[in-house]
A = this chain, B = another copy of it.
């Protein structure tokens, strides 16, 4: 799992920036609140992350004219490029991990972690 950080460092993004970009890449443009939910980030964190992503030219923001409190964030071509270039490596790191841990144990682990977080609702 660790190698993910190295890969992202080389790509010039942090883990959270990567998650946000992936959400936008996979689900299309959306407002910050939805991104935060899907990327499991609190809004104040997301605010800062979006500022960095915007500075780097990986996302753009646009006011939603039908509700001017809202914004629509979209990944730029450059932003989507980061995903495209690193997705294979990312997937490989995860499948390697799954393999090293064992398919069955990996699944049990995920289930137990989900159960654990479900306890806090």
Residues of A near any B CB (own CB < 8 A): 1-2, 97, 100-101, 105, 108-109, 112-113, 115-116, 119-120
Contacts and interface: CB of A to CB of B under 8 A. Distances in A.
A40 to B, nearest CB: 16
Contact of A112 (B1, B97, B105): B105
Among A1, A2, A109, A120, max chain B CB count under 10 A is at A109
A105 B2 CA distance: 26
A119 B105 contact: no
Assembly stoichiometry (copies): 2
A39 to B, nearest CB: 21
Contacts of A101: 112, 115-116, 119
18 contacts: A1-B116, A1-B120, A2-B120, A97-B119, A100-B119, A101-B112, A101-B115, A101-B116, A101-B119, A105-B112, A105-B115, A108-B108, A108-B112, A109-B109, A109-B112, A109-B113, A109-B116, A112-B112
A113 B2 CA distance: 14
A26 to B, nearest CB: 26
Given A1-B120, A101-B119, 16 more contacts: A1-B116, A2-B120, A97-B119, A100-B119, A101-B112, A101-B115, A101-B116, A105-B112, A105-B115, A108-B108, A108-B112, A109-B109, A109-B112, A109-B113, A109-B116, A112-B112
